[in-house]
Structure 1
Amino acid sequence: MTPEAKARQLIDQKLESAGWVVQDMKQLNLGAGPGVAVREYPTDTGPADYLLFVDRQPVGVIEAKRDDAGANLSAHETQTERYANATLKWRKGELPLRFLYESTGQIIFFTDGADPAPRARELFHFFRPKTLADWAAQSDTLRRRLAEQMPPLPARNLRDCQVSAVTGLEKSLAANKPRALVHMATGAGKTFTAITSVYRLLKFGGAKRILFLVDTRNLGKQAHQEFMAYTPPDDARKFTELYNVQRLSSSAIDPHAQVCISTIQRMYSILSGEPIDESAEDISLNELGQAPSQARLVQYNPKVPIEEFDFIVIDECHRSIYNLWKQVLDYFDAFLIGLTATPDQRTYGFFNENVVAEYSYEQSVVDGVNVGYDVYEIETDISRAGAMLEAKEWIDHRDRQTRARRWAQTEEDTAYTATDLDKSVVNPSQIRQVIQAMKAAVEGKIFPNRTETPKTLIFAKTDSHADDIIRTVREVYGQGNAFCKKVTYRAGIDADTGKPVPGDDADSVLASFRNDYHPRIAVTVDMIATGTDVKPLEVLLFMRDVRSRGYYEQMKGRGVRSLDAESLKKVSNSADSAKTHFVLIDAVGVEKSLKTESRPLEKKPTVSLDNLLKGIAVGARDEDTVLSLGNRLVRLGKQLDDKALARIKQASGGIGLQDLARGLVQALDPDRITADALDAAHAAGITRSADSLSNDELDAARRQRVATACQPFDDPALRELIEAARREREQLIDTINIDTVTRSEYAGQAQANAEAVVRQFSDYLREHRDQIAALGFFYAQPYRRRALTFDMIEDLHDALQRPPLMLTTERLWSAYARVQESKVKGNGIRRQLTDLVSLVRFALGMDEELRPFAESVDKRFADWVFRHNARRATAFTPEQMAWLRLVKDHIASSCRIEREDFDYAQLADKGGLQKAWAVFGEELDGLLVEMNEELVA
């Protein structure tokens, strides 16, 4: 078949699958179907390769080229236009044909002549006849509407960054740019921005259907909730009252849906015919890594044609679209709109470097949309240097999946490193030391004033690791099951039956973690690593390393969401301000580990070979060794999953693990040895019976059988793969090596952040001394001190905590504690608003130490009472001292006391002003003036 004939054959097949009736000119029958493609239709410039008729009217032309001409198709556009403008034989007065194709069968380019500045674009397949009929019936095209009919964007209820993103995107679409990237920091409202654009594209752009693509089912659910909650700026109804939104849970797309939400895994399944693993939709594609190489390619699906969607919004596009899954995006003829907080070089390249909006994390912090973070590092001896398990130690061996244990000796000396932890070896002491260090740091240094544990998220390496962490957290904190939960969709495995058992409902746990008091700590592998919104989070503990820069930034992003004071107090009652920052606790060196733009698949650590494999490799052929290895492989084969077995089969040259084991066992089968010996004798022309075989002949047959069975194990790669699979499947529980914390401190970046906070505070005091009354009080002469009021302190506090400073009293105190630790006292007590007085005095150099304001008042009160009693004929009575202490406490919490204050709280409970006057008489007013001056000075 010539190249031209091959191309025509492919074109015919694709046209027919799209619903066209393909005919030669000699068999012309325009009534054969709604769409007819006629080969070699005559025109006044020569025959067109294919002329397309819809409902008997000519609408388009296909210029077919040989299948090796794909690189030069653009050179033939002039030829296609010539046929489109030619006079068709037997037809008069026809307008130029609108729909133009150039194709080799493998490659298809398409131009719509009605578009503004018509431009060819590559297609996966041909359009259906109905699609061309619908387009021909419309007064304008989608691209013309995008260029000419999009009204200005109302900015109401939108942040500046969201307005910039929507307008930038619409400008890009008006210019007919096929791909656009929206880079917005986590927490800036990417989904809200996307829904705003989707609404406008449906209402004003006339889009038929839009695909909202995610990479986990949880993100799809979250997006659907946001669509249901969205109210457009020009209509009082909800989005879902105006447009149908379908969250895809099967292969059937609702023909009435204007928005379809789907995981990219499910859409790939629909287009490839590959059965979908429902559980795969719960795992981020970051965790799945590259798709399997033997996976099927996407094929044309007439039920979901390439024109099914006009736009595809790709949520978290940094991690879903660069391998097998990219076929989903290549399939549809749609504008691609990417949303991400963490673009990398691949992202920019895929979207043709067309960044229509850029809103960085740093800018979001300045704007108060997000909060900053500090890094606190925990290092233990074993997490730094590993440990050694000596041979013949009796320890637990635990199955990773079922968690069933067996008590056995180690077979050889096993040295393990930090990368082996919680994979091939579990050291409970190491996990315990990290959790204890976290607890001590959070309670003593990071959030010393909290009475409850701040909402904390722990990232674990595996589900098994997560279970170990959960049990340790509950033990260390002395709390019950509700305190710490795992967030996962995966079912657990019953250790006795080996069957899946349902766990806590993931959505319920996540909702409780977000909105309720319990759980205080959540542990996850990846389900809420990206995209999921948990605003009250204030601590992230990394107990797994991450080598992908983008994925790491996404994981950090779980903590950046800002939250107002009232909302934070609902779940963390002792929080006394809005969320000002979060703390990243690094227990694995994740902040310092080398990050790559594209995350490589994690490789199993190199492990020493099993003694039986070693023996076979060096020539051991005794019966015990061969049978023992065969039996070991039989057991292992029953434990491994299909992927591990497939890897072993590939490495062995196509022999499965069970066949390798069977070969070893059958190599020593006496009947088979006898049969081989008889065959060898027969081949040598010697007649033998089984009884007459010599020992040498039997030994030779045995040696040959064993050698053949053992030959695959000469390959060190296969031996290593088998041993690694066994180690992956089974974990050693090291209770022998006890770990110790070697370092628990803020990281250098946190120190730098603290120094920056201190500088900001000092600069602010200097620059605003004339604008804020409280600052004027501190800068003025001592006699002015009596003018300080609680309202002044509140005004100063409000000014400091607003963006861009966001300097709450707690954050300032923590910063000074890091920068000048030896001069800061009272870290472990809860901050009061009046502690701002102490902070200002310390910053201005009026005090040599930073102490809680109440503590300073206590000291000044003791000095004042001593001086006052020395001047009086009689000391204060016990009753008077009790009242004076109440007055002192009020000043400590409010900076000042006036007569009317006796109507409040404890003063009123003791009898108020009337009782105080009875106790002190006319001396009361003078004492109050004196205490206001002395205790706040």
Structure 2
Amino acid sequence: MGNTLISMGAKHQLSERDICTKYITPALQRAGWDIESQILEEVSFTDGKIFVRGKLTARGKRKRADYILYYNSNPIAIIEAKDNNHSVNAGIQQALEYARILDIPCVFSSNGDAFLFHDRTAKGMNIELELGLDQFPSPEELWNKFKIFKGIKTEEQERIISQEYYSDSSGRKPRYYQEIAINRTIEATVKGQNRILLVMATGTGKTYTAFQIVYRLWKARVKKRILFLADRNALIDQTKKNDFRHFGDKMTWVKKRQVDKSYEIFLALYQGLSGNEEEANIYKQFSPDFFDLVIIDECHRGSAKEDSAWREILEYFTNATHLGLTATPKETNEISNIEYFGDPIYTYSLKQGIDDGFLAPYRVVRVGLNIDLEGWRPPKGKLDKDGNLVEDRIYNRRDFDRNIVIEERTDTVARKVTEFLYGAGRFSKTIIFCVDIDHAERMRSALSRHNADLVRENYKYIMQITGDNDEGKKELDNFINPEEKYPVIATTSKLMSTGVDAQTCKVIVLDSNIQSMTEFKQIIGRGTRIREDFGKLYFTILDFRNVTDLFADPEFDGPPIRIKEASEEENLSTIEDEEEEFTNPIIDNVSGEEISVRKPPVRYPDNDTISYVREGSDKTYVSGVAVSVLVTREMYFDNEGRPITVSLKDHTREIITNHYSSMTDFLNRWNQSDKKAAIIKELEEQGVLVSALQDAVNRELDLFDLVCHVAFDQPPLTRKERVNNVKKRNYFTKYGEQSKKVLEALLDKYADEGIATIESAEVLSIDPLVNFGTPREIIDMFGGKENYTAALKDLESQLYA
């Protein structure tokens, strides 16, 4: 028996990994589990949240399961292991949390003596029971429970959900949330559900997820002919060249009037299949039952709208399974994804993606201009650029660049963006969202003036990329290609707000009055991709219009709300439309630009000779206005992704006092910790923004003094003051001359950079420590690693005495 291999006393000395190797894995093998194909050990299923400290970044802990057991490509069981100093059920709560995240029914905890089995399919009182090491269930037993959990009842359903994923030489596999989305879609399909909605945040791999769904259903011959619909050439092109490329000669892009029906995978634009004239409706060349599966990419746009021409295509192929993909389900009086597709079968949100470390976190810098915050009233007799009298009223940020253009405002925004890029890196890919095409054009010109040196080197440093600008549209692919240096800055209005895979975008500038939550989410999604190989781990939002107030809206990362026509009995004051002002924008089918329906020029009957607008335009253009920055502030977000509305100090105090019951509790934890850096990381994972707190209180303080001061009202000491106190005690006399100099150098390093630096193994390899010899030589000065470690701990105790 496994538990008689080692005496009880010796068993308590084994590490958790030893318990796995000597007891748990052998128990699984005896139960019939194949170690090569069915057992995965130490499975990290998240990447670890990215924490940003100034311009430095660090990863948080990955979520890691000790064991995940697979059967027919499906994860069906999870085991959390503990060493033998813990009880058999010590890991069950963590395992249950992971099982909830991973959608797994069978949950186990073990300490090497036995297993605690939590059965999420069980009825009545049998939800948990203890099993001996030789009683672990066989693969077939747990597979049967998995089928109960998923409602799989027939052999045909079982055959389809057991279809393997596509795999190639790259070894790429679906992430855990993609796996859940794929499996739930296939499960829904085999149960006969024909309208399916997947909600996945921008940057989480919707197209790759769709590819695996298509591949498994196509390979199982359940769906033999598939149509992938999008509304932009760029989306079709990306799909064909990237994730769907594995279909090779089985796939075609429907572009011509005459359709070759010999293919199995068809990619098409909505507007490429339909038109105003009957002969332009290419989709009718297919029989209504031709396609088994229709995938609608970015389905928050036209396909959700009942009177849309695009909906005609879907209704024509009504017998096919329709799978909608979106990051932002759209629910207004006229448009409803949920009404058409039903509730999402799976949602993976922006917040989840950031917490898991798959999406880039963001910081927000809000810039308040004087005329935006205070409004602007033209002085008496103020003339516009054409010599016309400017209407006497108060203009605010909703008017600027839509009704009235103040040249100095455009110039000030361009100057502040340039100023920011000087700090962030002038080759940081940047998208500037403007009010309209005219505004994007003027912003490009203003930025070119402020960046004349780089524009002189290459005029493509800044490009206007809008639907009407052919030269700019040609550069879109270069902008989103991480390997291409130019363009660096793109000014746009709507064209780049969605469906643009800008993986290395580090800065998003908001200078447009964005009110639609759907549009806002899509724009934020332009920055959420991570490319560590290009130094892209987070992004910055420069907000000139207070658009980021939408972060505080509960809709920002919550489930979609269905808003439909109300009955006479309903109180209309309780119904809110998400896009009150722009309920039904008109979108150009080719460019994706919003077409503004403008009011006619204003005329005033009391003086027909005075025109308040330019001929051919509804905008007034003025100059000579003093524009300045009233306030610049950085917004902070807690570890739930919500804006922090209290002061940073109060927010930090709340976290720390929830984590430590008293100052004594904190001091005990600090003194007992082998490495203080572990406490720093621990508090960061709780949501303490260490770097921001140092900026707000004093950058010369380390975390120990910050915590004692902010949470427990203790007077703080700077790092230099702590170093001076140590030097005054003259405690170095017990060390040799060289060792003493090393410790003094470590003290100086602490004064400059903090405790985490002197605890790191790399500190002995950098200035000024490198002057004392190699790390090995320095450690030998103390008589070996154990003595060096003891000397370092002694130094720390002196620092915090």
TM-score tier (shorter): 0.5 to 0.7
- Count of aligned residue pairs for this structure pair: 576
Q: Give the TM-score, by structure 2 length.
A: 0.59
Q: Percentage identity across aligned positions?
A: 19
What is aligned with 1:672?
A: none
The yes-or-no answer on 1:762 pairing with 2:656 is: yes
Secondary structure of 2:617's match? helix
Residue type at the aligned position of 1:458: I
Q: Distance in 1 between matches of 2:382 and 2:466?
A: 39
Secondary structure of 1:528's match? coil
Residue type at the aligned position of 1:486: M
Secondary structure of 1:309's match? coil
Secondary structure of 1:262's match? strand
Task: Indicate how the Cα distance of structure 1 residues 739 and 260 shifts in structure 2: closer, same or farther if over 3 A, else same.
Answer: same
Task: Indicate how the Cα distance of structure 1 residues 766 and 539 shifts in structure 2: closer, same or farther if over 3 A, else same.
Answer: farther
Question: Which of 449, 454, 458 is matched with 1:480 structurally?
Answer: 454
What is aligned with 2:257?
A: 251
Contact 2:480–2:500 (Cα < 8 Å) also in 1: no
Write the mapping of 1:577-656 to structure 2, written as runs, cut at 5 A. 578-579=537-538, 582-583=540-541, 585-587=543-545, 589=547, 591=549, 595-596=578-579, 599-601=583-585, 602-604=596-598, 607-609=601-603, 614=608
Residue 459 (structure 1) shift: 0.9
Contact 2:480–2:501 (Cα < 8 Å) also in 1: no
Secondary structure of 1:355's match? coil
Residue type at the aligned position of 2:543: I
Question: Which of 767, 780, 794 is matched with 1:906 structurally?
Answer: 767
What is aligned with 1:382?
A: 371
The yes-or-no answer on 1:505 pairing with 2:475 is: yes
Q: Distance in 2 between matches of 1:825 and 1:903?
A: 24
Q: Distance in 2 between matches of 1:900 and 1:146?
A: 57
Residue type at the aligned position of 2:267: I
Question: Which of 401, 409, 429 is matched with 1:422 structurally?
Answer: 401
Residue type at the aligned position of 1:218: A
What is aligned with 2:189?
A: 173
Contact 1:376–1:585 (Cα < 8 Å) also in 2: yes
Secondary structure of 1:814's match? helix
The yes-or-no answer on 1:240 pairing with 2:247 is: yes
> Any gaps of 5 or more consecutive residues in structure 1?
1-143, 230-238, 275-297, 396-407, 493-499, 573-577, 617-718, 770-774, 827-833
Task: Indicate how the Cα distance of structure 1 residues 145 and 760 shifts in structure 2: closer, same or farther if over 3 A, else same.
Answer: farther
The CA deviation string for residues 409-433 of structure 1, in whole angstroms up to 9 with x for no partner, is 2256465554442245322211233
What is aligned with 1:735?
A: 623
Contact 2:765–2:774 (Cα < 8 Å) also in 1: no
Q: Distance in 2 between matches of 1:606 and 1:195?
A: 48
Residue type at the aligned position of 1:523: T
Task: Indicate how the Cα distance of structure 1 residues 897 and 219 shifts in structure 2: closer, same or farther if over 3 A, else same.
Answer: closer
Residue 865 (structure 1) shift: 4.8
Write the mapping of 1:400-439 to structure 2, written as runs, cut at 5 A. 408-410=386-388, 413=391, 418-437=397-416
The CA deviation string for residues 375-423 of structure 1, in whole angstroms up to 9 with x for no partner, is 543332333524437658473xxxxxxxxxxxx4225646555444224
Contact 2:448–2:462 (Cα < 8 Å) also in 1: no
Contact 1:544–1:588 (Cα < 8 Å) also in 2: no
Q: Distance in 2 between matches of 1:362 and 1:928?
A: 40
Residue 197 (structure 1) shift: 1.1
Q: Distance in 1 between matches of 2:760 and 2:439?
A: 62
Q: Distance in 2 between matches of 1:170 and 1:360?
A: 21
Question: Which of 185, 195, 205 is matched with 2:221 structurally?
Answer: 205
Secondary structure of 2:518's match? helix
Contact 2:466–2:472 (Cα < 8 Å) also in 1: no
Write the mapping of 1:361-372 to structure 2, written as runs, cut at 5 A. 361-371=350-360
Task: Indicate how the Cα distance of structure 1 residues 210 and 868 shifts in structure 2: closer, same or farther if over 3 A, else same.
Answer: same
Secondary structure of 2:644's match? helix
Residue 338 (structure 1) shift: 0.7
Question: Which of 692, 712, 718 is matched with 1:814 structurally?
Answer: 692
What is aligned with 2:315?
A: 330
Residue type at the aligned position of 2:288: I
Task: Indicate how the Cα distance of structure 1 residues 864 and 595 shifts in structure 2: closer, same or farther if over 3 A, else same.
Answer: same
Contact 1:484–1:523 (Cα < 8 Å) also in 2: no
Contact 1:169–1:180 (Cα < 8 Å) also in 2: yes
Task: Indicate how the Cα distance of structure 1 residues 304 and 888 shifts in structure 2: closer, same or farther if over 3 A, else same.
Answer: same
What is aligned with 1:744?
A: 632
Task: Indicate how the Cα distance of structure 1 residues 612 and 224 shifts in structure 2: closer, same or farther if over 3 A, else same.
Answer: farther
What is aligned with 1:824?
A: 698
Residue type at the aligned position of 2:720: D
Secondary structure of 1:609's match? coil
Q: Distance in 2 between matches of 1:200 and 1:902?
A: 51
Q: Distance in 2 between matches of 1:184 and 1:921?
A: 55
The CA deviation string for residues 698-739 of structure 1, in whole angstroms up to 9 with x for no partner, is xxxxxxxxxxxxxxxxxxxxx99xx797224xx544222222
Secondary structure of 1:150's match? helix
Contact 2:161–2:186 (Cα < 8 Å) also in 1: no
Q: Distance in 1 between matches of 2:195 and 2:759?
A: 67
Contact 1:486–1:522 (Cα < 8 Å) also in 2: yes
What is aligned with 2:561?
A: none
Q: Distance in 2 between matches of 1:361 and 1:452?
A: 28
Write the mapping of 1:21-420 to structure 2, written as runs, cut at 5 A. 150-152=160-162, 157-228=173-244, 239-241=246-248, 244-269=250-275, 272-274=278-280, 298=281, 301=284, 303-321=285-303, 322=305, 323-333=308-318, 334-345=320-331, 346-371=335-360, 373=362, 375-384=364-373, 385-388=375-378, 393=383, 395=385, 408-410=386-388, 413=391, 418-420=397-399
Contact 2:511–2:545 (Cα < 8 Å) also in 1: yes
Q: Distance in 2 between matches of 1:394 and 1:270?
A: 42
What is aligned with 2:511?
A: 543
Residue 587 (structure 1) shift: 1.8
Residue 339 (structure 1) shift: 0.8
The CA deviation string for residues 621-670 of structure 1, in whole angstroms up to 9 with x for no partner, is xxxxxxxxxxxxxxxxxxxxxxxxxxxxxxxxxxxxxxxxxxxxxxxxxx
Residue 174 (structure 1) shift: 3.0
Q: Distance in 1 between matches of 2:389 and 2:583?
A: 35
Contact 1:899–1:913 (Cα < 8 Å) also in 2: no
Secondary structure of 2:336's match? helix
The CA deviation string for residues 108-134 of structure 1, in whole angstroms up to 9 with x for no partner, is xxxxxxxxxxxxxxxxxxxxxxxxxxx
Residue 318 (structure 1) shift: 0.9
Q: Distance in 2 between matches of 1:935 and 1:451?
A: 37
The yes-or-no answer on 1:556 pairing with 2:524 is: yes
Residue 600 (structure 1) shift: 3.0
Q: Distance in 2 between matches of 1:816 and 1:355?
A: 43
Task: Indicate how the Cα distance of structure 1 residues 845 and 908 shifts in structure 2: closer, same or farther if over 3 A, else same.
Answer: same
Q: Distance in 1 between matches of 2:673 and 2:679?
A: 12
Residue 510 (structure 1) shift: 2.0
Residue 507 (structure 1) shift: 0.5
Contact 1:379–1:744 (Cα < 8 Å) also in 2: yes
Write the mapping of 1:687-706 to structure 2, written as runs, cut at 5 A. none
Q: Distance in 1 between matches of 2:628 and 2:546?
A: 14
Question: Which of 616, 624, 635 is matched with 1:726 structurally?
Answer: 616
Write the mapping of 1:454-465 to structure 2, written as runs, cut at 5 A. 455-465=429-439
Q: Distance in 1 between matches of 2:441 and 2:297?
A: 30
The yes-or-no answer on 1:522 pairing with 2:490 is: yes
Q: Distance in 1 between matches of 2:179 and 2:723?
A: 56
Residue 336 (structure 1) shift: 1.5
Secondary structure of 2:767's match? helix
Q: Which protein is richer in helix relative to its size?
A: 1
Secondary structure of 1:187's match? coil
Task: Indicate how the Cα distance of structure 1 residues 755 and 317 shifts in structure 2: closer, same or farther if over 3 A, else same.
Answer: farther
Q: Distance in 2 between matches of 1:861 and 1:843?
A: 21
Q: Distance in 1 between matches of 2:541 and 2:661?
A: 30
Secondary structure of 1:164's match? helix
Residue type at the aligned position of 2:579: T
Residue 486 (structure 1) shift: 3.1
Contact 2:478–2:484 (Cα < 8 Å) also in 1: no
